[in-house]
A = this chain, B = another copy of it.
């Protein structure tokens, strides 16, 4: 009468995009997440800058020549890219797509504008915005970096506030009050997304087929 087949797990992975204003601590949270989450793959960026000592191609970055990078842009093989201090940086589409196709979840840590570009290409991704506990706290983190003048700080805070306004395009917002709590929230969001009805329906479709036999 009933099928002995249980929940299937053959399913595409989930793309998680972690973003937020400069100074909010995206890198720190992502590093901590990496240490406690072996089930998430971390996207590797491409760059045209020279490898530093110890950096490994395909691990720290995909190192590309300017010509290679420009070709990847032309072939729509970059989910997003930007030029910074004379070098290109970007997210190769292939690594992300291959990871998702293998059923593994992948996380991109990326600045706010880049994340919105990724959203155009992967609207089904899970977009998480990292918030400071308060604007004062964000300001003190920016000041705390050291040598910035008051004008630079004011300008960076102004950019940060504009970036926070872009949070409306995201699915979730989490407060980075403590790094371990922020990590737990991201893990909870991933667990919840894995339990979304649409994902689960496709996993038990064979039950219904079996019963109808």
Contact = CB atoms under 8 A, between A and B. Distances in A.
B3 A136 contact: yes
A103 interface: no
Interface residues of A, number: 48
A17 to B, nearest CB: 13
A191 B175 CA distance: 12
Contact of A192 (B1, B137, B193, B197): B193
A1 B143 CA distance: 14
Contact of A173 (B135, B136, B170, B195): B195
Number of copies: 2
A77 B201 CA distance: 33
Contacts of A187: 188
For the complex, would chain A's binding face be called helix, strand, loop or mixed by DSSP majority?
Answer: helix
A152 interface: no
A192 B211 contact: no
Contacts of A211: 135, 161
Contact of A185 (B7, B135, B189, B191): B191
Interface string A178-213: 000000110111011101110011001001101100
A207 B164 contact: yes
A189 B197 CA distance: 12
Given A1-B154, A211-B135, A200 B188 contact: no
A199 B29 CA distance: 22
